[in-house]
A = this chain, B = another copy of it.
Amino acid sequence: MPKREIIEGKPVLLVIDIQENDFRDEGVPSAIRTMPGYLDHVSRTRELVDVAHEAGVPIVFVKEVHRPDHVDFGRELDGSEDVHCIETNPATDYAKAMDPRPTDYFIAKRRYSCFFGTDLEILLKGLGADTLVLTCGLTDVCGHYTFVDGHQRDYFCRVVEDCVAGSSLRAHDGALEAMEYLQAGARRSLEETKAAFRAHAGGRPIAAAG
């Protein structure tokens, strides 16, 4: 097997489930348990978004949403998560701290994998994407399962491990190891990913900021 580069072909950055509720202290216990340092990890995604904006790497912001009558939760309330991400709640929106711009792409999903019941693959085909670079609110749920679905659809998949955080440290570590099992070199640092985005931009015109 040939050694793989951090970016093979054309990259796309996926920013998954980093939503307003991550940045709001509403004085109530969260519906979803997270590991220590959660907010530091996901906040660092902003650095990568900035470089992607500069380098012209397409960004897809994905948010989880559920309808107010709970009709679309499926089995999601049978486990560790309580009611979450009701779409009429402003805290469910894409996190402003990530600087989403009108020229970026936006997808709402109702399950863990960003591919499940969404138009993500339509968009990725339109963009000609080859490599998916993932940052995510929960490493071991939406991050892991989006990676698997991207992998099964033949994309090169990378996870920026400084920018993701799990439901527990143990679950976070286990998910990163599972991704590395699927694709050697999947785990990447924020610094090397930023460098790769910049090098990628060197080969073509830098997109104007939105």
List the interface of chain A (C-beta within 8 A of B). 1, 4, 67, 69, 71-75, 77-80, 103, 105, 109-113, 116-123, 125-127, 140-141, 144-145, 148, 151-157, 167, 170-171, 174-175, 177-178, 180-184, 186
Please tell me if the beta carbons of A119 and B126 are within 8 angstroms of each other in the complex. no
Judge whether B171 and A171 touch: CB under 8 Å. no
The answer to whether B171 and A181 have CB atoms under 8 Å apart is yes
**Interface hub of A78, A127, A171, A180 (most chain B Cβ within 10 A):** A78
A80 CA / B181 CA spacing, docked (Å): 5
Copies of this chain, tallied across the complex? 4
List 6 other contacts, CB 8 Å, given A78-B182, A113-B152: A71-B126, A78-B184, A117-B120, A118-B118, A126-B154, A140-B178
A73 partner residues in chain B, CB cutoff 8 A: 126
Complex interface: chain B residues within 8 A of A141 (CB): 181
